[in-house]
Structure 1
Amino acid sequence: MESFFVATGVVVVVYYAVKLLLFSRMLLPKLWFPVPKSFFTSMGEWAVVTGASQGIGKEYAFQLAQQGMNVVIISRSRADLDLVAKGISQSTGKNVKVIVADLTKDDVFEEIEEELKYLNIGVLVNNVGMLPSFIPVQFLDTAELEQTITTVISCNVKTMTKMCKIVLPNMESRQKGLIINVSSGIATIPVPMFSLYAASKVYVERLSQCLQAEYKDKGIIIQVVSPFGVSTRMSAYSKNLVTLAPEYFVKSSLQYVTAGDKTYGSVRHALMAWFLQCIPKKILYADALLYGLQDFIREKVAEANIKL
């Protein structure tokens, strides 16, 4: 019996030592996960970014263009996309193709596929996503719940799946490509009042990881990136130690593209995930904490003057 407990203790120590070593690699991505200067352009000539009119998507488009790629930007706002396209062209000299599409609709993907048909696409960033409500609420208190269910699933789930279907065949035939699917740190643990959004992002994580297992041997990298706070409209433009500026977050996340099938995109967000998983669920699910978070977000939305 003594030998059994000693052996068990050794196994536990080794297990956590390995986990600590694996986590420590996140601190030095350039050493552990070097990304050659030509990495992105070696995947193909074009990058496609959904939800690229602002926030994280806009920044992915800019930074991939800075890496030497032409970019296709997709969103539903022509005016915003044209501004982004102009900025990218002027600052990088790369070609920008604009596709205006409401990705919550069913009838847009055939046109998108036709627009992308003859492009040598090396990178796809599935970034587009939406919250059911800016102010977190219980599931049944969601405004226009029936329509919201359909819209959130179409935007957060179906769009990512359809875009992978469009882009993957060409990547498979060329035996190379990179797909980044943007999930959310909130998918790491069940979070009340974010139920529909969190569940949709769990789908993004699981499909991404399954696709990577299926296509890794064919030279394709499929990675899910799960940020916590990024200072965008969705977070009411908050800024703090955890809520990062989009340009900082995207630059950080691109350093981890060879780090495995899932990353949090930054050391701070990886630490946040670890911290939240250590907190007992009774504390996380306490009414005082949940309603305090609800009031905090309501104040931030009011300060940012965001229309609900």
Structure 2
Amino acid sequence: SFSLLLDYVQNPYITQESVENEKGIIGQEIMMYQDNPGWKVYFNLLRALYEKHPVRIDIAGTIDSISRIDRDTLYKCYNTFYHPSNMIVVAVGDVEPESVFSKVEAAILHKEPRPPVNRIYPEETAAISSDYVEEHLAVSIPMFRLGFKGSCHGETGIGLLMYETAVRLLLELLIGRSSELFEQLYKEGLLNSSFGIDVSFEKQYAFSVMGGESPDPMQVRERFCRTLEGARNHGLDKSACERLVRSFRGRFMRQFNSVERISHSFITAHFKGVNMFDYLDVYDKISFEYINEVLHDHFKTESLAMSVIRPV
């Protein structure tokens, strides 16, 4: 089955008829996502954070953009990106390493070496595109996302991983499930179990997000900003930071119970220019002082945008 998978991705068979059939299916999916409030509130936020970077573009495309795709377009994309030089294979479980290596080598021997793909990104300023965007859809309670547009400051590898980890720690400290602010907002009915946080730090872009459902999203924003300002002015709780770092380490170790999580972590780490086990070094080396630096660097009011979906 492993050899079949390798052959499947190395030898595509595309006809114009299959492309036309798939256009119809994808077109329906695009229309469905336009009515999906969770999808819309998220991508509306990205468009508010970014003015030019392609991360702001809905990955499904549009009815117009897919209408221009044909068989030649797909083969051109395939030959550019779906090549062994741009491929990562991770095998996790009860496997024989030598057998995996030999099967991979056999599958790619006939492929000619190619130079790295040259990706060209538009120049994006540090400023956000808009600080607030709102849309009305069929929801029973407003949905919101708050996001901070960040900068990687040219960091790669361990440096990027360290910064990303600090941002995750700070979000958990400020408004995570065990924070004082979340407990207050939950008791007041301003947040519920749908609330969550996320961080995305790559070489070309970086942002942090929090959100969920709330009868008063603006009140949540105001209370969060007030808590953030208090942390900036009076500092963080050092013991809480240290406790959370230990918690993060525990979460990292627990993922070794899942074969799927292990493979996903290996691939994610590779594209960040690090090894999966570098996370342990980050948890050992990240300092209270560094976390405070990131607090002032990433969580800036001028970098904050909000997306809200309200009932029709």
If the TM-score is normalised by the length of the shorter chain, which range does it land in? under 0.3
Could you say which structure has the greater relative contact order, defined with CA pairs below 8 angstroms and 6 or more residues apart?
Answer: 2
What is the TM-score of this pair, normalised by structure 1? 0.26
Bigger Cα Rg? 2
What is the TM-score of this pair, normalised by structure 2? 0.26
